[in-house]
Amino acid sequence: MSNLPQYISLTFILTTVATLLLLVLIIRNAASLQSRKKSIPVFIALTLWLIVQAICSLKNIYNSDPNSFPPKIMLLGIFPALITIILLFITKSGRSFIDSLPLKILTCLHIVRVPVEIVLYWLFLHKTIPQLMTFEGRNFDIVAGITAPLIAYFGFTKAKLSRQFILMWNFVCLGLLINIVANAVFSIPSPIQKFAFDQPNIAVLNFPFSWLPVFIVPAVLFSHLVSIRQLLKLKTGRQTN
């Protein structure tokens, strides 16, 4: 990874910072005052999380033993993030928090998927991820990033799109996310590797690209799940009324 041009790492670091700031902006614009008060604690917690994950990567914890099961990045990075999301959805306080978040900015967060896809393409060109993880392979996730500002503008600023259409967009883009995540997981050097044996997915085991599966992907997943929940509640509420 030392032979990568610096602009690739810098672009990805800036994308990660943008994702962090967008998450904080989402919370700062929540409908509930109680939720808005959580913006600084969340910012601190997420910053510490990024620091811990950076240390794990720089200490070669994630790429030191490809035969470990589950892969260390899943055990120490991905699973804790998923558990946090689950807790927000199954607890009363968590549901109250996520239901107050603004749909428009949640949708805008998906714009970060565009620079992520560009970085993935650069990483493929430098032989640190397989082609199947790019838009030249099986990854169509860039579509979500390109369409996100259009959905935010015409769906919420101009109110030209129906809730059903926005809901469908979220489901489709969630499917795109699941598709690339599955391909990425099964391309990592590990006992569960199924693809890309000639060029495995080694970039995400190294700094700063380990932030993709442990932070950016969970943030994008969180945004979709919150948006879907809110849109379904709105639909149910209208049917009731």
Please list the pLDDT of the chain residue by residue as tens digits (241 residues). Answer: 668 899 999 999 999 999 999 999 999 999 999 999 999 999 999 999 999 999 999 999 998 887 888 889 999 999 999 999 999 999 999 999 999 999 999 999 999 999 999 999 999 999 999 998 998 888 899 999 999 999 999 999 999 999 999 999 999 999 999 999 998 888 888 887 887 778 888 899 999 999 999 999 999 999 999 999 999 987 655 543 3
DSSP three-state, residue 93: helix
- Give the residue from 163, 184, 154, 176 showing the smallest Cα distance to 221: 176
Contact 163, 103 (CB under 8 A): no
Handedness of CA 18, 46, 224, 128 (dihedral sign): positive
What's the whole-model pTM score? 0.93
